[in-house]
Amino acid sequence: MKDTVTVSTHDGFFHADDVFALAVVSLWTKKERKQIKIIRSREKEVFEKAEMVVDIGGVYDVKTNHFDHHQVGGAGKRENGIPYAAFGLMWKHFGKKITSKEAAVLVEKKLVMPIDAIDNGVNLSTPLIAGISEYTIANAIWTLGEFDEGGGNDESFRRAVDIASQILSGEIKKAEAAIEGEKAIEAEITAQGESSILVLSIYYPWSRVVSRHEKIMFVIFPDKGTSKWCIQAASDDDSFGNDRISFPIEWRGLTNETLADKSGIATAVFCHRSGFFAVTKTREGAEEMARKVIGGRIGVYDKK
C-alpha cells in the first residue's frame, strides 16, 4: 500500500464542507499511518490525477473514490431530508473507519448534518431576533479564506483543514466518551437510588443520559484541571433553556466571599448569571448548595 494518499478538491474560496471533508481524510490517513497530499485545482486534467476527488468533478461514485454533490440530482438525501454535501459523503464512507459506528452516528448528528445543511441551503433554525443569526463554524471557516491575502489560497486552506481536524477529533473523542460513560452514569443513577442530585466522581458527558431521568435536578462533577466541583442543572432535552431547576436570582453572577455570604455556602466560588451552573471548592460544598436549592424549592421551574 502507498504511504501517501493524494486527495484533490477545488481551489479558490473554500467552505466548511470541503474543509471538513479533507479533515476526515486527514484523520483517516493519520490512523492508517499514511501521509496526505492535497491537490487544489479546478482543472480536470489536474484533479483527476488524485486517488480521491472531493467536492469537485460532478460525480459521486464510491468505487472510483469520487465524492461530489454539485451534479444534477445531488448525491442523495438522508431520511430526515438533509442532502449530502462533501463532508457528509466523506463521513458516510470513512467515519466508521475512524471511530465506532455508534460514535460516528453522534458526530453525524452534531457536526456533519448541520454543515451539510448549510452548504445545501437548508435552514435548521429561525432567528429569534430579527436580523441576528447564530455564528456557526461554517461562518468561521469561510472567514479564514475569504479575507486572507490571496483569498482562499492553499496555505489558508491547509490551516483551515488543521483547525477542522482538531474540531472533528475533539467531537469524536467527546462522542466516544459519551458512549463509554453512558453505562457508568446509568449505574451511578441506579446506585444512588434515582436521587434528585446525581454526583459523579469522574466526569463523563452526562446530559443525554440524565435527560431520560426526570427526577434528577442537579448533576455534580469535578471541575477539569482544578480541585473544584461543579453543580449544573439537569435539562429535559439535552439543551439550554429547558432546565429543571435554577439557582436563585440573588445568587446569580456572584463570586467568592460575596456568593458565600449570600448563599450561606462557605465554599461557594461562582454562580452563573443565567442560574444554571455554579462552582464550589469542595464536593461537600457542592452537595450542600444543591440540597439547599432543592430543599427550599428555590428557582424550580413549574412543570406543566
200-243 confidence digits (pLDDT tens): 999 988 988 999 999 999 999 999 889 999 999 999 876 666 89
Sheet containing 66-67: order of strands: 35-40, 4-9, 52-54, 66-67, 60-61
Q: Are residues 65 and 170 in the same domain?
A: yes
Between CA 257 and CA 276 the distance in angstroms is: 20
216 shares a domain with 171: no
Share of residues in the chain with pLDDT > 70 (%): 94
DSSP SS3 for 61: strand
Task: Say whether pLDDT at 1 is over 60.
Answer: no
**Tell me, what's the pLDDT at 148?**
66
- Tell me what the mean pLDDT of segment 287-296 comes to: 93
Among residues of the chain, what percentage have pLDDT more than 90?
Answer: 78
SS3 label, residue 278: strand
Q: Is residue 289 one of the residues assigned to a domain?
A: yes
Enclosing domain of residue 231: 192-295
**Residue 126 and residue 108 in contact, taking contact as beta carbons nearer than 8 Å:** no
- Burial letters 168-185, b for 16+ CB under 10 A, else e: bbebbeebbebbebbeeb
- Split into its structural domains, the chain has a count of 2
pLDDT at site 304 = 29
What are the grid coordinates assigned to 109, written together?
448528528
pLDDT classification of 172: cutoffs 50, 70, 90: very high
CA distance 92 to 105: 10
Go through the chain and tell me how many residues it has: 304
Check whether residue 30 and residue 121 sit in a common domain: yes
194: pLDDT confidence band, cut at 50, 70 and 90?
A: confident
Question: Do both 149 and 291 map to the same domain?
Answer: no
Q: Is residue 114 situated within a structural domain?
A: yes
DSSP 251: G
Average confidence (pLDDT) over 244-253: 96
Co-location of 242 and 213 in the same domain: yes
Q: What is the mean pLDDT of residues 4-23?
A: 95
Backbone angles phi, psi at 115, to 5 degrees: -70, -40
> Residues 198, 125: one domain?
no
| pLDDT of 302 | 36
C-alpha cell at 283: 464536593
Residue 151 included in any domain: yes
Q: What digits encode the pLDDT tens for the residues 90-128?
A: 999 999 999 999 999 999 999 999 999 999 999 898 888
Whether 23 and 133 share a structural domain? yes
pLDDT at 299: 47
Ramachandran quadrant class, 123 (left: phi over 0; alpha: psi -120 to 50; beta: rest): beta
Distance CA 139, CA 19 (A): 12
* Whole-number average pLDDT of the chain: 91
The pTM (predicted TM-score) of the whole model is 0.75
CA–CA separation, 133 and 302 (whole Å): 30
299 dihedral zone (left: phi>0; alpha: psi -120 to 50; beta):
left
159 and 62 inside one domain:
yes
User: Rounded to 5 degrees, what angle do the CA atoms 45, 46, 49 make?
Assistant: 90
Residue 146 pLDDT level (bands cut at 50, 70, 90): confident
Do 149 and 207 fall within a single domain? no
Measure CA 118 to chain center: 16
Look-up: residue for cell 436570582?
249
Structure-model confidence comparison of residues 300 and 9, the more confident one: 9
pLDDT score, position 205: 85
Same domain for 26 and 142, yes or no, is yes
Which range is least confidently modeled, 77-81, 165-169, 176-180, 279-283?
176-180
- Both 150 and 198 in one domain: the answer is no
